[in-house]
Amino acid sequence: MSDQTDLISRVRFNDQGLVPVIAQQWDSGEVLMMAWMNQEALQITLESGQATYFSRSRSRLWIKGETSGNFQQVRSLRLDCDGDTILLEVDQHGVACHTGARSCFDTELSAQPTVLVTP
């Protein structure tokens, strides 16, 4: 069994056949975006080294940057401990967000950090 096949077999896709993916800039740790992959998108990403996602609204695969030129070259792919979320460490070329922002997470909801205290 190849390493790619082994990795894909460990992914726990949801009922729609999708898994959430967080894209993070490999050298700075900056969180860039969240998207979805199906098994085919994951396979293409592993084979090509270019982040490929599944669009739920268009019901089709899309390569990040195919229309904007803002490609994501994959540096590493990590599966979380439950197997139901993927972390892509990427080299982002240009901006990640469709709004033109570097990151999709540039909107701050609260200026005050929340501190959770557990007994």
As separate numbers, helices (DSSP H) first and strands (DSSP E) second, the chain gives 2, 6
Q: What is the pLDDT of residue 82?
A: 96
- The structure's pTM equals 0.86
Domain-by-domain residue ranges, the chain? 3-92
Q: What is the pLDDT of residue 2?
A: 63
CATH 1.20.140.10 fits 3-92, yes or no: no
Mean pLDDT, 10 residues at a time, the chain of 119 residues: 78 98 98 98 97 97 95 97 97 96 88 69
Q: Which two tokens mark 74?
A: 């994959």
End-to-end CA distance of the chain: 47
Q: What is the pLDDT of residue 117?
A: 75
Length of the chain: 119
Q: What is the pLDDT of residue 91?
A: 98
Q: What is the pLDDT of residue 53?
A: 98
